Amino acid sequence: MSRATQTALVRDDRTLYEAVAGLAVGCSGVAFLTGLAALLDLLSIDDLVAGLELSVVLGVVVLGLGVSVVGFGLTSRLGYVETEAQPSAGLVASAAFTGIWVAIGMAISGVAGLPTAGQLGIGAILGAAAFATTALPREDIGSTLPAGVVAGFCGLALVSGVVGPGLEQGLAGYNATLFGDTVVPAVVLLASLVTGWSAANAYGGFGARGRNIAAYVLIYLVVGSILAVLVGLVAFVTAKGLPGLFNGFGVGGAGLLRWPFLTNGAGLLADTAGVFPALLGTVWLVIGAVLFAVPTGVGAAVFLSEYAEEGRFTGAVEVATNGLWSTPSIVFGLFGAAFLIPRFGNQKSLIAGMLTLGFMLLPLVLITSREAILAVPDEYRDASAALGVSKWQTIRSVVLPAAIPGVTTGVILGVGRIAGETAPILLTMGGGVLPAKSAAPNVLGGFQLSASPPFVSNPALLEATSALPYQLYALITAGLSGNIQNPQEYAWGLALTLLLVVLVFYAIGITTRYYFRRKLHQ
Amino acid sequence: MSQTDTTETRANRTDSQPVSTTAGETVEETRTEWTTYEAAGETKLAVDALDVHYGADHALKGVSMDIPEESVTALIGPSGCGKSTFLRCLNRMNDRIRAADVDGRVELDGENIYQDGIDLVELRKRIGMVFQSPNPFPKSIRENVSYGPRKHGDIQTGLLARLTGREESDREETLVERSLERAALWDEVSDRLDDNALGLSGGQQQRLCIARCLAVDPEVILMDEPASALDPIATSKIEDLIEDLAEDYTVVVVTHSMQQAARVSDQTAVFLTGGELVEYDDTEKIFENPESQRVEDYISGKFG
């Protein structure tokens, strides 16, 4: 062979090395997930695993990972395995390890009680050393040695119990204390992230391929932690809320489903306290807001994108809409309280809440509808015009149907926001902390005809009504007390109900969008 | 010696004839007699001194030509020569571009379509248009074809019509079938009229667009490079269709492909860069013996 360093297209050597490195990546992943679980309180760090505390076991694992990572680097550097290591690990890796070691240095010296100048000094020294170790040697050393030392250091701290379940570290100047059950998982997360990256790098044989795999591992671990937060949050609320939600749930006398939590009020006479009035209040609130915001928002979007000439006016409207969308909800609430309430019977009412939330929803519906309408291809408009069809007919029968999925997306996002709003309801709709079933809004049956204008009235719309987020807030500020059994359980059930209501609205929206998309494309 | 010399001189002279359009060089003069062409048959569209400006850009310069009825007129020329602009003037689609400024007269059966008070809906019902890339609506095949008549109120459909007993689904069926048959698409789609039109192939979509245009019963059909986005087989189907349509309709077709113009058209107008109509004559004459040197260069592929 003329070229000794020629790379084979098919890699069949290095299998043992790759297998060990792959195993290390897997162990790092497991350690990372365990750390996450411990951080979210799903695991306790002082549980016993094989006779040892979990924190010590994790320490051993992390220590082992650190040692093996250094081993990968040395094996490659000393030429036992052929890799494609580049001359340096690169600036980004160097900067990352510098940052990590500066932080470690400052944390240790802080715990040791050094003054600020001393902390900075130690941080700088360690940072410089890490930078030199990463940037100067060949890549196989540069991207393993600093990582291995981080992991080894963390592992030693955990094994020796310096960082353990009993840790209580006061933070000078912050009036706060760090406890072991936060610090141990954090240390494990840091160490396993670093070793996972480094081992993945070794698994790929360093070089471009190694960095590629390492980047994947980092991204997967980050995505995993985001998902863990999401799932953890939902699981937490669900676990806490289920007992309250299913309190008294069962099949009743006539073979009907009994679900007192959703069908009862919270009055003195109710056997099991329920959230029916607030649930109905929230549903009507969202329906009212959508009924107000969607026609106005879509109408405005049609005007802006089809009729108005692109210019200063549309620009100003766009800025105003974007600003309105980011306006804090309490400001909308104040506006509703000062402007709408005097006009609707001078008291907090369902309709004032609907309109306030409608105002909040309006900008998002306008923005997304406008984008959806602009995204409808001009070819459709041309084709329609060439057939002699008028502009309005074209908008109605071609442009709007093609824009419906986009509009629906906007409404879904908006409903998710307004259904959980508390501040505007607090100021405009009110309602009791623990409303009885009789306080539920009877909107459908509330319409009354009269002989004088406006001929139709609906007192249900003009009454103060409770809604789920507001009731939750009111319960908490009232100190979780009241004439109900187990208010804690009741409040968690309420929270879960609110979460489910929002999810149901999402599901409806997504189904609608799916239906219209299918209709457009199949 | 003298023999060779003369030939060479002659050849040199031909080569150095001023034919380039680049600024600063002399441009071959355009003669009016090259564009005055008396076609057989009645004049359907008479264009007189048509000028189009897009802002400062002079896109069409004083174009005059008569388009005879029930025949195929091809408009050819290099990109940016104004042939599509010209086509879009014929049914006033240029009105939809804000910067476009049109001067001159276009007469449809002797009536100027650029006079005040013209009914654009009626005009576009009489002059249909097919676009470069197939653009069916994201609706069913049936709805695509009956879209025009429905919107014009020629066919009553929908809930209200059904409730009042005025629904004309029989008439709609007939119209859809007739239009699709005329566009040579019926056999391929007759069993799936309720499928979405976007599921058809490109060539089928383009024939659907032609059927959609035919459903409004126009007199003139304008086609803007109707086959440029299609494969050769679909193209040849469209070309057959164009020839076939010319028996009943006046077809004006813009094309990039000179072979296509030669195959389908009765008369051909050549636009060259700068937005001028250089020559307009029988297709055979244009392709075999054009008057203008520039047109000859363009057709033989030396320029454009």
- Reported as a pLDDT band with limits 50, 70 and 90, residue A2 is very low
Minimal-distance CA residue of chain B relative to A378: B135
Residues of A in contact with B195 (CB under 8 A): 522
Is the model's pLDDT at A446 over the cut of 80? Answer: no
Residue of B nearest to A520 (CA): B138
Contact A389 B152 (CB under 8 A): yes
- Beta carbons of B147 and A309 less than 8 Å apart: no
B133 contact partners, CB below 8 Å, separation of at least 6? A379, B229
Instruction: Give the pLDDT confidence of A257-292 residue by residue, as tens digits.
Output: 778 788 777 766 667 778 888 888 899 999 999 999
- Rounded to the nearest angstrom, the minimum Cα separation between A311 and chain B is 13
From the number of C-beta atoms within 10 Å of its C-beta (0-12, 13-18, 19+), residue B254 rates as buried
Q: Residue A256: is its pLDDT beyond 80?
A: no
Q: Find out whether A465 and A429 touch, Cβ atoms under 8 Å.
A: yes
Number of other residues whose CB lies within 10 A of the CB of residue B301: 8
Query: CA A22, CA B286: separation in Å to the nearest integer?
Result: 74
Go through the domains of chain B in sequence order and give each one's CATH number: 30-137+218-299 (3.40.50.300)
User: pLDDT category, B18, cuts 50, 70, 90?
Assistant: very low
* Residue A12: pLDDT over 60: no
Contact list in A for residue B209 (CB cut-off 8 A) is: 383
Q: pLDDT per residue over A318-340, tens digit each? A: 999 999 999 999 999 999 999 98
What pLDDT was estimated at residue A76? 86
For B281, residues 6+ apart whose C-beta sits below 8 A from its C-beta are B34, B37, B267, B268, B290, B291
Instruction: For residue B91, list chain A residues with Cβ-Cβ distance below 8 A.
Output: 386
Cβ <8 Å between B216 and A386 = no
State the pTM of this model.
0.76
Residue B72 near residue B221, CB atoms below 8 Å: no
Note whether A377 contacts B135, CB cutoff 8 Å: yes
Give yes or no for a contact between B267 and B282, defined as CB atoms under 8 angstroms apart: yes
Residues of B in contact with A522 (CB under 8 A): 195-196, 199
Query: What pLDDT digit, counting tens, does each position of B167-181 carry?
Result: 777 888 889 999 999
Q: What is the mean pLDDT of residues B23-34?
A: 63
pLDDT tens readout for residues A365-396: 999 999 999 999 999 999 999 998 888 999 99
Which chain B residues have a beta carbon less than 8 Å from that of A387? 124-125, 128, 147-148, 151, 212-213, 216
Q: Nearest to residue B44, comparing CAs of B91, B77, B88?
A: B91
Rounded Cα–Cα distance for residues B70 and B76 (Å) = 19
* Cβ contact A387–B151 (<8 Å): yes
Helix (H, G, I), strand (E, B) or coil at B233: helix
A36 alpha-carbon distance from chain centroid: 16
B233-239 — which CB contacts under 8 Å span 24+ positions? B233/B203, B234/B201, B234/B202, B234/B203, B234/B204, B234/B206, B235/B203, B235/B260, B237/B184, B237/B203, B237/B207, B238/B203, B238/B206, B238/B207, B238/B210, B239/B263, B239/B264
Q: Which pLDDT score is estimated for A269?
A: 63
- Which residues in chain B have Cβ-Cβ distances shorter than 8 Å to A384? 137, 147, 151
> Contact A389/B151, CB-based, under 8 Å?
yes
C-alpha distances (whole Å) from B16 to each of A203, B278, B294 are: 70, 20, 13
Written as one letter, the residue type at A359 is: F
* pLDDT reading at A511 higher than 50: yes
With a cut of 80, say whether residue A58 has pLDDT above it: yes
Nearest to B148 among A388, A520, A521 (CB): A388
User: Angle, nearest 10°, between helix axes A276-302 and A468-477?
Assistant: 130
Q: Measured between CB atoms, which of B96, B121, B139 is closest to A388?
A: B121
In the block, tokens 């599509």 appear at: B84
CA–CA dist A31, A47 (Å, integer): 15
Average pLDDT over residues B101-109: 89
> Which residues in chain B are contacts of A520 at CB distance < 8 A?
138, 196, 198
Distances (CA, A) of A284 to A239, A426, A475, A496, B276: 28, 16, 21, 19, 66
Cβ of B135 and A398 within 8 Å?
no
Would you say the ipTM is above 0.85?
no
Q: Most A CBs within 10 Å: which of B98, B121, B220, as the mutation test of the A interface?
A: B121
pLDDT value at residue B10: 41
Are residues B19 and B28 in contact, defined by beta-carbon separation less than 8 angstroms? yes
A436: left (phi over 0), alpha (psi -120 to 50) or beta: beta
Nearest CA distance, A272 vs chain B (angstrom): 48
Q: What is the pLDDT of residues B137-166, one digit of tens each?
A: 999 999 999 998 888 887 777 777 777 777
Strands of B220-224's sheet, edge to edge?
A: B127-130, B220-224, B250-254, B72-76, B267-272, B276-282
Q: How far apart are CA B78 and CA B220, in angstroms?
A: 24
3-class DSSP assignment, residue B284: helix
- 8-state DSSP, A163: S
A379 CB neighbours in chain B (<8 A) are: 131, 133, 135
Residues B131, A379: C-beta atoms closer than 8 Å = yes
What average pLDDT is seen over chain A? Answer: 85
* Contact of A159 with A60, CB cutoff 8 Å: yes
